[in-house]
């Protein structure tokens, strides 16, 4: 699990943001946003999912979605009651290095964009120093566990949670039309747009911070 809160949980003055990384990432990828938000008085927690960041687990041994998300679920269950709250790899052909932890005759268990293509695919609009940091810290991301992810088709509790979607207009990992399909399949209450690559936490951190604050205010968290 990554670094915990940068402000006291006992008497938070503003919303508690829990930031979760994407595949191959870790809590480290939020360092810009966390610094901005903490400096503005927000409570921020960044978590390493299992097999990511500094978590020592081998991603090839994480085969279920629940296991992958255990650090997040453990953290949420520890909060006071009042605070509780797959990419298609085929499109890139051989852009990914795959690992077969269950054997070469079985589906891949983890994947990572090849180092020589990471800049072009994931960070093409991000500052060079952030790309350099990411290239040093990215780890193979769990694949088998993501395939295990399921949400009940009819779940009133899920629908009671306010959801928004931030569309990244120049994303080469999840293309804009793919994002539109995701939104259409499970419509959120609001869609925001950023002129960003796949990593707005690096390429447009100030705009992303502004959206986080705007969303928190819109759902009555401030």
Report the CATH number at residue 75: 3.40.50.1820
- Domain of 70 in residue numbering reads as 16-218
Q: What is the pLDDT of residues 63-94, one digit of tens each?
A: 999 999 999 988 888 877 555 444 555 555 68
| Residue 46: inside a domain | yes
Q: What is the pLDDT of residues 110-122, one digit of tens each?
A: 999 999 999 999 9
| Residue 2: inside a domain | no
Answer yes or no: is pLDDT of 60 > 90: yes
Average pLDDT (160-174) is 91
C-alpha 91, offset from chain centre: 21
Q: What is the DSSP letter of 116?
A: H
Give the model's pLDDT for residue 70: 92
| Residue 8: inside a domain | no
Place of tokens 């453990």: 74
Give the model's pLDDT for residue 8: 47
Answer yes or no: is pLDDT of 2 > 70: no
Answer yes or no: is pLDDT of 12 > 90: no
Average pLDDT (189-198) is 96
| Residue 186: inside a domain | yes
| Residue 5: inside a domain | no
Q: Measure the CA angle with vertex 59, ends 56 and 61; round to 5°.
A: 100
Which has more pLDDT, 34 or 86? 34
Give dist(CA 148, CA 142) in Å, integer.
11
pTM > 0.75: yes or no: yes
Give the model's pLDDT for residue 107: 86
Structure tokens at 222: 């401030």
Structure tokens at 8: 């006291």
Give the model's pLDDT for residue 5: 57
Give the model's pLDDT for residue 84: 46
Average pLDDT (155-173) is 86
Give the model's pLDDT for residue 79: 75
Give the model's pLDDT for residue 111: 92
The whole-chain average pLDDT of the chain stands at 86
- Number of separate domains in the chain: 1
Give dist(CA 129, CA 205) in Å, integer.
14
| Residue 99: inside a domain | yes
Give dist(CA 62, CA 211) in Å, integer.
33
């Amino acid at each position: 699990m990554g670094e915990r809160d940068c402000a006291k949980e006992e008497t938070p003055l503003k919303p508690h943001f829990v930031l979760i990384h994407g595949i191959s990432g870790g809590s480290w990828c939020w360092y810009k946003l966390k610094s901005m938000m903490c400096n503005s008085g927000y409570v921020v927690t960044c978590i390493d999912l299992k097999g990511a960041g500094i978590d020592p687990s081998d991603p090839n041994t994480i085969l279920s979605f629940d296991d992958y998300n255990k650090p997040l679920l453990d953290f949420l269950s520890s909060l006071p009651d009042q605070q509780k709250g797959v990419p298609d790899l085929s499109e890139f052909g051989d852009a990914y290095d795959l690992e077969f932890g269950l054997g070469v005759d079985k589906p891949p268990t983890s994947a990572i964009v090849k180092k020589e293509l990471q800049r072009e695919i994931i960070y093409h609009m991000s500052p060079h120093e952030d790309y350099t940091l990411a290239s040093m810290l990215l780890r193979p991301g769990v694949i088998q566990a993501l395939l295990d992810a399921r949400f009940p088709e009819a779940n009133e509790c899920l629908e009671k949670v306010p959801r928004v979607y931030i569309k990244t207009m120049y994303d080469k990992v999840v293309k804009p039309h793919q994002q539109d399909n995701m939104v259409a399949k499970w419509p959120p209450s609001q869609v925001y747009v950023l002129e960003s690559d796949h990593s707005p936490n690096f390429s447009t951190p100030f705009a992303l911070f502004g959206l986080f604050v705007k969303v928190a205010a819109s759902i009555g968290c401030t």
